[in-house]
Structure 1
């Protein structure tokens, strides 16, 4: 016995006919009948939001690195990648392949800002380093110039302290010293320091106080060298003709010291006298010349 079927393919008992195709479109006889739903949903494409997220992260990294002056030289790379990935992410949003437009735009903007920060920091570092180098070079030049000036001043001072007999040299305390050309000296019979055959000379030293305060003279004894550079022997006798400079010298006053020295005959034609009115404060000045 055959069960009658309806126009939609189902039997009168409600069961679908074995010959009915469930995937076939409804017949026109169905009219406005409801279209049957599929037994399972169709798969939907997932949005491609990875580029926008990556751009945002790289943009933050680029800005973060750019803030640290010591790391600016690597901040441009993540910032540049953020611009690239952000642009790709926006392109995917326009094509409907991604949904995170805000992230892509933020990553792109942060990438651009990171590049600007990296460029600005780089310029700042270049200017800073150049300024530091220029300052260091200027300092080195200044030190060299000062050292040269000091050497020239020392050389000039050294030259000024070497004078011929009869010239004057003024020391820092205002004492003006003049060493006269040595004159012949005849020791008495009781002289000490003069060998027979040597030439004895007398060295006269005049000191004038050109300052406004009294000055102490603490000279010790002058040193005399002969033409060979050997130290001459100090002559001491009982004639009373020798006078040692010592004590205080008032402003405008003058003191004269006289000393005798014995020179060997082979080196008695020239002599050099070293003298300072205060050996603890001032370097010696030098007077030299012929003794003839």
Structure 2
């Protein structure tokens, strides 16, 4: 019985390590422009984008999950926030996940990461209950429903010319939505 438990632990840890090391990276979805009305179809084949613009485009993932990330804005965390260091740059944005699939979607498993600047400085999540940043999604949604949550991140860089955001709606790493924006 003990060996079986250790085997399960080893398999779970192996999966976590694989995801953390980029082993997930499957489908990045289909990017669509949500800021402009639909234009007439052109005869040229559209290029396949893998990174969507924050505040302007949506990503449709396998299973009918649609993700949008709002335009980032400068964020000044309160004195009681966690995850922010003095001197860091901080940004806040909203993320909307819509379930157009056929099964309920557990958003408590959603994972959101961010990096700032041309060098891709890893950003830390900021939790600031005083300003309504409380940790993301907390529910399961049925087909046809959508939820929005605010996220804030802080990074030890002044370069906010690129803010890259990765959204994994189910934390399994099989489908990710990639976004970029700037302050």
Aligning the two structures, in what range does the TM-score lie when normalised by the shorter sequence? 0.5 to 0.7
Partner of 2:83: 193
The normalised TM-score by structure 2 is: 0.65
Q: Tell me the SS of whatever aligns to 2:139.
A: strand
Distance in 2, matches of 1:254 and 1:156, equals 18
Instruction: Tell me how far 1:189 sits from its aligned partner.
Output: 0.9
For structure 1, the residue ranges without an aligned partner over 5 or more in a row are 1-153
| Contact in 1 for aligned 2:67/2:97 (Cα 8 Å) | yes
Instruction: Tell me how far 1:156 sits from its aligned partner.
Output: 9.2
Question: What CA RMSD, in Å, does the superposition of the two structures yield over aligned residues?
Answer: 2.6
- Select 1:174's aligned residue among 64, 67, 75: 64
- Select 1:234's aligned residue among 108, 114, 125: 125
Distance in 2, matches of 1:156 and 1:223, equals 17
Larger relative contact order (CA 8 Å, sep ≥ 6) = 2
* TM alignment of 1:1-292, pairs within 5 A: 159-166=48-55, 167-227=57-117, 228-239=119-130, 241-243=132-134, 244-280=136-172, 282-291=174-183
Distance in 2, matches of 1:252 and 1:156, equals 19
- Write out per-residue CA displacement over residues 197-223 of structure 1, whole angstroms, 9 at most, x where no aligned residue: 222111210011123442222444311
Q: Tell me the SS of whatever aligns to 1:239.
A: helix
The normalised TM-score by structure 1 is: 0.42
| Contact in 2 for aligned 1:217/1:246 (Cα 8 Å) | yes
Higher helix share: 1
Q: Structure 1 residues 212-221 or 253-262, which shifts more?
A: 212-221
| Contact in 2 for aligned 1:173/1:215 (Cα 8 Å) | no
For structure 2, the residue ranges without an aligned partner over 5 or more in a row are 1-26, 32-47
Instruction: Tell me how far 1:196 sits from its aligned partner.
Output: 1.6
Structure 1 residues 218 and 156 mapped into 2: Cα distance closer, same or farther (>3 Å)?
Answer: closer
Q: Hey, which bits of structure 1, 4+ residues long, moved more than 4 A?
A: 154-159
Structure 1 residues 200 and 281 mapped into 2: Cα distance closer, same or farther (>3 Å)?
Answer: closer
Structure 1 residues 219 and 203 mapped into 2: Cα distance closer, same or farther (>3 Å)?
Answer: farther
Distance in 1, matches of 2:69 and 2:105, equals 19
